[in-house]
Structures are given as structure tokens and as C-alpha cells.
Structure 1
Amino acid sequence: MERPPGKELSLAPLQEWGEEEVDGAVYNVTLRRQLSRRPGPGRGRGRGRGQVTDSGRSEDFVHYRTCKVRALRAAPLERLVLELVRGDHEQDPAFVPAFLATHRAFVPTDYVLGLLLRLRQVPRLQGEGQEEQGQNHSDLSQEQESRALISVLGSWLLNHPQDFKDPPAHPNLIQVCTFLSWAAPGGPESQEAERLLKHFQEEEEEEVAKKLHEEEDKAKEIPEESAPFHHESPDPEIPLEEEEHHVKEGPELLDFSVDEVAEQLTLMDMELFSQVCLWECLGSVWSHRDKAGGHGTAPSVRATVTQFNAVTSCVLSSVLVGPGLPPPLRAQRLEKWIFIAQRCRELRNFSSLRAILSALQSNPIYRLKRSWAAVSREPLSIYRKLSNIFSDENNHLNSREILSQEEVPLTSPEEETAPGVPPLQVPPGPIPYLGTFLTDLVMLDTALPDLLEGELINFEKRRKEWEILSRIQHLQRRCVSYSLPSRPPVLAAFHAQRPLSEEQSYRLSRVIEPPAASCPSSPRIRRRISLTKRLSAKLSREKSSSPSHPPGDPPSPSPSLSSGSYPPSPGDGDPLTLSPPPSPGATNLSYKSILELPLGTEAPELQQTPPSPGSSARTSYPGQQTPDACVIRVSIDHDPGNLYRSILLTSQDKVPGVVLRALQKLHLEQPQPRDYQLFQVLPGDRELLIPDNANVFYAMSPASPGDFVLRKKEGAQSPPR
């Protein structure tokens, strides 16, 4: 039976084969089918070149060739480094970029560099499928390894230059320059190393000159000892009447046009995002920033967090300024920020867009019902559409899909190269909300182990991390194409905006509109109540019983809450999603930690053992059970710091083990599981006590399987933090 032209057998291109162990390294093996054609009888001998049969169809046979593909899954450190120069990078093209982007999570740069530069003196490992073919073959192999080593160093210098920045001497970079000047003199890799060293040295000189200039300026200001010292942060004890009299010199930020403000916010976000170091985003790095001694961890990521907080604070202070301002005039300020957010969306700046929406959805602004009632219909419609971008429905599917669509070029490569078609004009950006990627990386680090049996490095975990980091790197390269003019007056007005503390924001909001019933005019977005919201509501009820908080108005959050990261959300346990709550409540504005959120649809699989390439990956969300595992979130009662940690719970885990892992993740020193009880948080502010030594997987209620609280037993001593 003849097959119609173009109709071929539908065969799976990849088939999982299993695992192989070679020289202490474990490989995932898949079989890949590749299409190949062989001339049929109609094209045999006796026919001229280019002739076809009478039917006019090609009579080629359709053949499939099966290739065996190996991808390194786990190996000792030395074996991983050897794979950089002796591995088959055609079969496994992702190995080198994944290693270079994630190696600092398990080994320092100088150690890897030392192993690489000593490889020329290390004999080749046996058992790699290489046959002895004489001295010529040996020389060829050494030449190939030299070229591979030079290529790896060149890729390392180009894609991760910050790995070599070690002021003031930069010993690793000097070592690379010396090697490349001998191995590849005058080559692009050697030129890049020399350029990078010169760039770092110039930066050092500029920083030294800047410090000297600052010291000279301070020395000139020393005689003015009679002038009182004013701290930048506002004093919550200053009366509101005095706050009104703080008039800044020069124009306010909202005195500028919508385009000018949005463009300057985008310019600042672009500069910070393009400078983010990939390795600082890794969950093993970012999740330990609050641990003792981790104050200076991930400075490039912290800079984006600081900018996000500054935009949110700027919106708050500009809207709440002037307690005596009439509602229509305050509504104009709300409308202008909505139009600025819309312009940020047009500029594809999702970071400032989310920061502005976070401030507008915060409790101090949300509860201003008279001001919201004066907002026109068109801005309200725009506001609701923008808020839907960051809806927490289906694990923030909207924002993830929109970002993916923004990454895709408008035309295909074929259309771009077609005759008569002008060159493709790729729009700049987008600038993403970095918290989404940080969340996925933290969850990935929580779910997958660093080491496998036999103390082998779990490189499959690093591959999954690289899938996320590669998207960040791609977006960084796209965002540098922005061409926006710098407007110093707008930047000066932004930095001069007087920030308000959380306490002041709530006090001003209550003065503008005294406590009242639920606000029917404020924009509403339906959402689910999460562990974050339930704990906040519970603490609010406890505080509202004190005389200092009048009934009918939410108490202000505790001033002891840490700042320095993105604001929390009242939605589904996600500290990154901020939409207005169903009714005015105590939505904390202390910009808390980005930690442990559900992975998105593109996020890697959360399971005990990583899947092999070619297998169907299935995402597990916190609270979603698989036959033998699920991810749960555990918090500690009355803890003002990081709210919760995610833990991979298996069907074998009992209460002591779960409590111990949670205490360790909460950075408690000398944790004593016997001093704590584990409670499951149920709907309706109910709790279920999990008995000691019970199997948590089977003892927990399926009504809300994701949220747990640790509470200290009576008489137990608090461990040091």
C-alpha cells in the first residue's frame, strides 16, 4: 500500500532508555530517531542525474536512524570539570552553559579554574570509548582538548564576567590572561580577557576616586556641628500637622508627564536588571540572604528589590500626601499613577508595573473609598485590566503567559530573510518581574537534593536551574536595546520623594478617611485566602482587642517586620502577588522575603528524583499530592521574619523529621523538634494538631494540605536565632 506524498510514519522522536555509569559518572540515556532518506530503485544506476520516474514523484525510501544520546546526570566534582573539555558537547550542548551558570552553588571559581588549567597534564580517562590509534591520534586528542578548553574559557569570560571580579588584584582573571596569551595569542578569547581585566581596573580607579571625593565633601561639612542630624527615614512620632509642612524644593514627581515618569522608571529598572548576576538568583544563594552573615549576599538582586520598594513607597507617599486634600484631587493622583502603570505596560516594564499596582492595592490606599469613588470610569477599567495581569489564578498563569509572548519576535526568521522584507525590528525588553524567577529557583532548590547516593553532585538539578537562568539571561540581552533619554529632573524628583514608614502610612490613611465600614467603591478582585492572609487576619484580631486600635479599622502592621524585599500578598500564600483584598484588611507593607512559591507551568518538576531527559515532566504545586509526595509550607508561630518555608513531604515522613527540617530551614540554631507541635491550618481559621510521631502525609487533612504552623510547647525554651 502506497503512502501519499509527505505522509510519513508518526514515531516518537525521543525514547527513554535508562542510565549508564562510566568512570563513576551517571548518564541519562535516550534514543533519538532521526529521519534519513536513501535513493530507491527508481534512482538506481542507468538513470541520468536529476531524472525522476514517470509518475513525477520521488521514489526515495524513508528511513529512520536511531542515535544514542547521553546526558550527564551526576558525577564527582573532578569528573564534572573533565566533562567540560572531554565531553561530547554535540550530544549534550546544555552541559557547559549549565555548569558555568550554576557552579558557584557547589564549588568556587578558583577551584574550577585550577582543575581546568591542570587538565593538560592529566592523562585521559580510560573507558570513554576511545581506541588507541597511535601517536597521531594522541596528538589530535590533545589539540581538541586545547581548543575545547579555550572555548570554555571564552564562553565563561563572555557570559559570566563577574565570576572573575576579585579586587584589587583579580588573580583568577590574571591567571586566565596568562594562559590564553600562551595558548591562543591574539585570539578573541585572549582579547576578551585583557579587555575585561582593563575594565575591572578602571572600575577600581573610579571607585577610589569617588571615595576620595566623598571624603573631601564630608571634610568640608565638618565645621557645621551646630546643624542637627536628620535621618532619611521618617520618624513615626512626628505629628501629622508637622508632616504636612514638610515641603520639598523643586517639582514633585507627579508634576511631570506620564511618559516622562514611566520612561525614567523603565530606564532605572533596565540598568539594574541588566546587571543582575545569574548565580545570585540561585535558590541556594538567595534563600540564605537572611541567615547570619548573609547581609551582603546577592547585591545585584538586592538592588532590584530596593528599586521595587522605592517605586512602591513613592506611590504611597504621593497619594497620601496632604491629609486635607479633597477626594477629587486625590483621585487625580490615583488616576495619574494608573496611567503611568499603563505606560509601563506599553514599554513592557513589568517590574515597575507591578510595584505601582502593589502600592495602589495596599491597605492604606485601598481603603480610601471616597477617593476611589471620585476616580473616572476609564482609569478604573484600565486599573482592573492591569491588575488581571498579576492575578494569582492558576498559579499566576496570566503574567507568565504574557511574559512568554513578549519574548517571541513579531516575525519568523524566514519572513525576516525573505526578499523585499525590511530587517526585523525587535522591540526592546521586556523587563520582567524578577520575583517570579527567584520564587521558582527557591522552590527548585527546596525540592531537589544537591547530592545523590555516593556523594555525587546532582547535576540534573543544575540543568533545571539553568532552564530558568537562561530565560533571565535572554531577557537581559533583550532589555539593553532600550533607547530612552535620561531626564535628571525627573530622577531627582523620584529620589527626593519623602518615604513614609508603614506606621505613618496607616496613620495618614486613617486621618484622610476615618475608620468606617467596608468600602463598596474600591476596586475588587476575587481571590482566595492563603496562609499569609489567615495568619495576618489572626494577628489583626488579637491586636484589635487592645485599646490602641479602634474597632472597625485594621491595625497597623508591626514596625519590627523586616524590609528589603518585595511586598507580601494577601493571596494564596504568594508573597509576590498583590491584588486588592475583598475588604479592607491588614495587608502588610513590610516588603518581605521572596520565598517558596508554587512553580509555574514552565517550572521544573518537583519530585524526589529528577526525571531523565525525554520523560514527561509534571509540575507539583504546594499542597498538590502525588501518589507518594507533595510540597507543604511550614511557618513558625509569632515569627515576624520570613513567613514560611517549603518542604517536600513524602509518605515516609513523620512529625519529628518534618519539624526538624522546618526549624533548620528557618535558620534556628540548636533546633529541638521535641519542643514544638505541628498544626495544619484549615479553612475557617481552624487548626488540626498532628500527633507526635504520626505520619504527616497520611495524618493531614485533604481540605487544605499545603499550610502548616509550628507552635512551641508550654515550658519549652526559645532557641537562639
Structure 2
Amino acid sequence: MIPRNMRAGGYELPGVESREVPLIGYRPLSPDSGTPSSLSGRRGASDDLETSQSTVAEEEDDGVIYTVVVKQHGVPHGPTCVKAGTEEKLVLHLLHSFSLGDSSYITIFLSTYRSFTSTERVLGILTDRLENPPGDSEQSHIRQAFNKAVCTVFRTWLSEYPEDFHSLGNPTCLLRLAPLLPQDSSSAADLRAQLLRIAEELSEKALLLDSRRDRSSFDSPPPNPSLFEPTSILGFPSSLIAEQLTKIETELFVRLVPYHCLGSLWSQRDKKGREGVCWSVRATVRQFNKLANAVLASCLWPTTLRSQQRARLLEKWIGVAEECRARKNFSSLYAVVSALKSNPIHRLRRTWHDTDREALRRYEELAEIFSDKDNYSQTRELLKEEGTSKFANLDNRLNNRHVTRVRAAEVLLHPDLLQQTSIKSPT
């Protein structure tokens, strides 16, 4: 996954007309080697390529495996890139990557490290290293290069992924780290002040949590499900409902962290000790399920509704889905359509028979958007065609799509509602 601020425009990619392309990887050429202007090639470009021939070798040194580009002409050694290593060595390589020519390592590490370690662990390793910096004195060349690397790492980290620091449960590691930052530059002073502000916010947050626990015994009881009135939704305009849903989705997608969509992280969400991983994606999943369950509850409860009354509820939700489509809110649209396609509602034959024909036609058109034919190709094409901002559902982008699927066994209604539904099935 490409980090949020990384752009391909800064790199010359041979044979690519448009610069707006995802940068998966690259191998920089030395200044003395030319870069071909096109794949067809000219004689001059061919000569430049001939002089830039190189071989790739692997070297192991103290727990780290490096990929080394060995030049056959000119420079004896090209950039040295890390291929694998122990946890500690991978973290410490953040401070040595620039001196070895591995300029992309910091960006790659910060976007993927959560799949094999934690923020606390990375900060702990870096702090231990800062307590024993290299060089004999502050003015030595080695110490100055080290201090520059430290500032670069933390400046990039705080700029790209500030949520890593704000999500720390304990400010102790930040309070230990801040005094160890270099003292010889204004940028280091800014970083120190930034870390101390975050540590202060974490301390205040911990105090607020404690006070909330103290007041938890005085909280009001949960709402009584017997007071639920599903037909009340008919009193609200479909456009207003869609507008409110879009506002909720806007807040969720603004807070969405791109690297939370990595398969290596999402696959660990149910493992012990990883319950808080991918919290921003979990929030979108919860909203999807809440909306889908709201559609199910309003259409299936109470069981005393006649088929004509239940048909009016279906028409209302179809209208809401249309308004979501008009606002390009595909996440809420998919939740409503999935609920209407679920088995409990799909089996209401008399209700569907009493539903307006025009509403049914519009519903079928909306459902076709999320057809699984050709691996959801129509959904992807539609999202590409929409030129302006939109809220796409994450369902098709996660490895285990069953989390957000609406199935009969996953209807999260109140137990009392399930009991009453089992006594008398809806018409």
C-alpha cells in the first residue's frame, strides 16, 4: 500500500505516459547512467543502458539481509536495501537507511510495521538507541549524521501517521523519548514539543476515562426495545435520512487510516491481543451492520403488520437507497440493498407482491450495482466512472467479506424480538 503522502510524480518511470500511477517499487539509477526517454529507444539511450548494467546480490550482516546492486561500470556499489532482518535490526535500520542509499525504507517501514510489531516496541528500541548515540562528541560528524537521521525519522512519522502516537495507552514512552532527541537544531526542538503535547493529551485522556468509570454506575439504563416503532421512519423524507447517513459516513471515512486496509493487519483482527487493530475499518463495518440491522428490524417488526403496510416500509427503504445513490454514498446504499436482499425479507412474497412495481424496478437496478458477477466488475467500473467524491463500501476490498454480509444467522435483533418473530412469522 502506498503511504498517503507518497506520490509517483517524483520519480521518472520509463514508458509511462501518465505520472499519476501507483508506485509499487523502483530501483534508482546512478547519476552517470542515462534514463531512456521511451521504450522504443534511441541509440543514445541504448548506449546509456549498456553502461548501467548491474547485478543484484544478497549480503548478510549481523542479523540483516541486504540486497546490494553491484554496478559493472563506474560506481562499484549501488544502493543497499534491506530484504529481511530481525525486529530490532529492522527498527534500527531506520537510522541508517539514508547513509546506505535506501531512501524509501522509512516510508515502507512506517506503512507496514504494524503487521509484525507495535508502536510501543518500535519507540522502545529507538529510545534505547538514543540513550547510547554514536560518536565521541556532539560535534563529531558521526553524531551529526545520526541526529539528522533521528529528526528525519520522527518528523516523517509524526507527519504521516500521527494516530500512532495519539493511540498510545500510556504516555511513559513519549516522556522517556522526548529528552533524548537532539539538542542542536530547531527542528528537534519542535519535535520534542510535539511529543510532549501528545503525552499531555494522553495523560488527560487517562484521567477522563477514570472519571467516566466512576460515573458509570449512574448511567441511564439501555432503551426498552418494546418501545421500538418501525413505522416511524415513514414520517421522515427519504432525502433527509440519506443526508444523515451520508454525514455519518463522511465522519467515518475522514478518520479512515489507509494502512488499516492491509490484509496483513485485517487478518489479525480476531487474534488475542489484537482486538484494537484496524479500529477505523471496524468503525465502518459497525456502521454498515447497524444500518442493515435497522432495515431488517423496521421491515420485520412488529409481526402484526399486514403485507400492504410492510410493503410501504420496503418502498421507503428503496427510496432511501436511491437518495444514497444520488449522493454517491455507496456504503450506505450497499447496506440497505444487502438487507433487502437478505433471506428474512426476501421470503416475504406477499409483501413484495404488494410493493409498487416502479419501486421494484428501481430496486433491481440498484441491486445490480453490487452484483458479484465477474468479481464485482460492475461495482469497480461504476466507482471509476464517478469523477467526484464518493463513499465506496470497504466490503469488496477486505479479504474476509463475510464480516459485513447480512445473513439470517447474523440478524442482531433483541432476543425478545426473535422470540416473538418465531411465534408468528410475518406475512
Partner secondary structure for residue 303 of structure 2: coil
Please tell me whether residue 303 in structure 1 is matched to residue 217 in structure 2.
no
TM-score w.r.t. the length of structure 1 is 0.43
From the superposition, tell whether residues 441 and 387 of structure 1 become closer, same or farther in structure 2 (CA, over 3 Å). closer
Q: What is the match of residue 319 of structure 2?
A: 339
Residue 201 (structure 1) aligned to one of 200, 203, 206: 203
Please tell me whether residue 111 in structure 1 is matched to residue 121 in structure 2.
yes
Q: What is the match of residue 178 of structure 1?
A: 179
Residue 425 (structure 2) aligned to one of 492, 503, 511: 511
Higher strand share: 1
- In 2, the alpha carbon distance for the partners of 1:100 and 1:441 equals 26
From the superposition, tell whether residues 310 and 345 of structure 1 become closer, same or farther in structure 2 (CA, over 3 Å). same
From the superposition, tell whether residues 178 and 397 of structure 1 become closer, same or farther in structure 2 (CA, over 3 Å). farther
Q: What is the match of residue 439 of structure 1?
A: 399
From the superposition, tell whether residues 319 and 9 of structure 1 become closer, same or farther in structure 2 (CA, over 3 Å). closer
Partner secondary structure for residue 395 of structure 1: coil
- In 2, the alpha carbon distance for the partners of 1:90 and 1:338 equals 59
Please tell me whether residue 365 in structure 1 is matched to residue 345 in structure 2.
yes
Partner secondary structure for residue 72 of structure 1: strand
CA deviation profile, 1:85-141 (whole Å, cap 9, x unmatched): 3224997554323312322322333332233345464659xxxxxxxxxx9xx9455
Partner secondary structure for residue 399 of structure 2: helix
Mapped contact 2:134–2:142 kept (Cα < 8 A): no
CA deviation profile, 1:4-45 (whole Å, cap 9, x unmatched): xxx9662599999544326342327599xxxxxxxxxxxxxx
Partner secondary structure for residue 341 of structure 1: helix
Deviation at 1:142, TM superposition (A): 3.9
Q: What is the match of residue 316 of structure 1?
A: 296
Q: List structure 1 runs of 4+ shifted beyond 6 angstroms.
A: 12-16
Mapped contact 1:323–1:508 kept (Cα < 8 A): no
CA deviation profile, 1:560-594 (whole Å, cap 9, x unmatched): xxxxxxxxxxxxxxxxxxxxxxxxxxxxxxxxxxx
CA deviation profile, 1:662-719 (whole Å, cap 9, x unmatched): xxxxxxxxxxxxxxxxxxxxxxxxxxxxxxxxxxxxxxxxxxxxxxxxxxxxxxxxxx
Please tell me whether residue 190 in structure 1 is matched to residue 219 in structure 2.
no
- Give the residue type in structure 2 aligned to 1:375: T
Deviation at 1:363, TM superposition (A): 0.6
Larger Rg: 1
- In 1, the alpha carbon distance for the partners of 2:356 and 2:393 equals 28
Partner secondary structure for residue 67 of structure 2: strand
- In 1, the alpha carbon distance for the partners of 2:38 and 2:279 equals 54
**Superposition pairs of residues 624-635 of structure 1, within 5 angstroms:** none
Range with greater deviation from structure 2 (20-29 or 386-395) = 20-29
Please tell me whether residue 267 in structure 1 is matched to residue 247 in structure 2.
yes
From the superposition, tell whether residues 247 and 377 of structure 1 become closer, same or farther in structure 2 (CA, over 3 Å). same
From the superposition, tell whether residues 207 and 395 of structure 1 become closer, same or farther in structure 2 (CA, over 3 Å). same
Q: What is the match of residue 354 of structure 1?
A: 334
Partner secondary structure for residue 21 of structure 1: strand
Partner secondary structure for residue 388 of structure 1: helix
Please tell me whether residue 215 in structure 1 is matched to residue 217 in structure 2.
yes
Partner secondary structure for residue 74 of structure 1: strand
- Give the residue type in structure 2 aligned to 1:25: I
Residue 235 (structure 2) aligned to one of 240, 252, 255: 255
Q: What is the match of residue 65 of structure 2?
A: 25
Deviation at 1:353, TM superposition (A): 1.9
- In 1, the alpha carbon distance for the partners of 2:99 and 2:250 equals 33
Q: What is the match of residue 151 of structure 2?
A: 150
From the superposition, tell whether residues 117 and 270 of structure 1 become closer, same or farther in structure 2 (CA, over 3 Å). same
Q: What is the match of residue 365 of structure 2?
A: 385
From the superposition, tell whether residues 106 and 510 of structure 1 become closer, same or farther in structure 2 (CA, over 3 Å). same
- Give the residue type in structure 2 aligned to 1:386: L
Q: What is the match of residue 10 of structure 1?
A: 40
For CA contacts below 8 A with separation 6 or more, give which structure has more relative contact order: 1
- In 2, the alpha carbon distance for the partners of 1:374 and 1:141 equals 80
**Superposition pairs of residues 459-474 of structure 1, within 5 angstroms:** none
- In 2, the alpha carbon distance for the partners of 1:156 and 1:150 equals 10
- In 2, the alpha carbon distance for the partners of 1:84 and 1:257 equals 55
CA deviation profile, 1:249-300 (whole Å, cap 9, x unmatched): 7983342222221222233333344445566555455434445666666555
- In 2, the alpha carbon distance for the partners of 1:324 and 1:441 equals 34
From the superposition, tell whether residues 142 and 405 of structure 1 become closer, same or farther in structure 2 (CA, over 3 Å). farther
Please tell me whether residue 96 in structure 1 is matched to residue 106 in structure 2.
yes
- Give the residue type in structure 2 aligned to 1:435: D
Mapped contact 2:230–2:298 kept (Cα < 8 A): no
**Superposition pairs of residues 564-713 of structure 1, within 5 angstroms:** none
From the superposition, tell whether residues 166 and 257 of structure 1 become closer, same or farther in structure 2 (CA, over 3 Å). closer
Mapped contact 2:88–2:125 kept (Cα < 8 A): yes
CA deviation profile, 1:293-351 (whole Å, cap 9, x unmatched): 66666555443333222111100111123434343432222122122222223333332
Deviation at 1:435, TM superposition (A): 3.4
Partner secondary structure for residue 439 of structure 1: coil
Unaligned segments of structure 2, at least 5 residues: 1-36, 72-76, 403-411
Q: What is the match of residue 550 of structure 1?
A: none
- In 1, the alpha carbon distance for the partners of 2:283 and 2:217 equals 24
**Superposition pairs of residues 400-411 of structure 1, within 5 angstroms:** 400-404=380-384
Q: What is the match of residue 704 of structure 1?
A: none
- In 1, the alpha carbon distance for the partners of 2:341 and 2:195 equals 48
Q: What is the match of residue 83 of structure 1?
A: 93
Deviation at 1:506, TM superposition (A): 10
- In 2, the alpha carbon distance for the partners of 1:333 and 1:89 equals 66
From the superposition, tell whether residues 72 and 325 of structure 1 become closer, same or farther in structure 2 (CA, over 3 Å). same
From the superposition, tell whether residues 122 and 200 of structure 1 become closer, same or farther in structure 2 (CA, over 3 Å). closer
Please tell me whether residue 376 in structure 1 is matched to residue 356 in structure 2.
yes
Deviation at 1:439, TM superposition (A): 1.0
Deviation at 1:166, TM superposition (A): 6.8
- Give the residue type in structure 1 aligned to 2:333: L
Deviation at 1:147, TM superposition (A): 2.2
From the superposition, tell whether residues 359 and 21 of structure 1 become closer, same or farther in structure 2 (CA, over 3 Å). same
- In 2, the alpha carbon distance for the partners of 1:268 and 1:378 equals 29
- Give the residue type in structure 2 aligned to 1:438: L
Mapped contact 2:67–2:83 kept (Cα < 8 A): yes
Mapped contact 2:303–2:426 kept (Cα < 8 A): yes
CA deviation profile, 1:220-242 (whole Å, cap 9, x unmatched): x9xxxxxxxx896x7xxxxxxxx
Mapped contact 2:80–2:100 kept (Cα < 8 A): no
Mapped contact 1:319–1:333 kept (Cα < 8 A): yes
From the superposition, tell whether residues 508 and 395 of structure 1 become closer, same or farther in structure 2 (CA, over 3 Å). same
Mapped contact 1:311–1:352 kept (Cα < 8 A): yes
CA deviation profile, 1:491-544 (whole Å, cap 9, x unmatched): xxxxxxx9456983994797333xxxxxxxxxxxxxxxxxxxxxxxxxxxxxxx
From the superposition, tell whether residues 217 and 20 of structure 1 become closer, same or farther in structure 2 (CA, over 3 Å). closer
Aligned length: 365
Higher helix share: 2
- In 2, the alpha carbon distance for the partners of 1:388 and 1:15 equals 52
Mapped contact 2:293–2:339 kept (Cα < 8 A): yes
Deviation at 1:359, TM superposition (A): 0.5
Q: What is the match of residue 662 of structure 1?
A: none
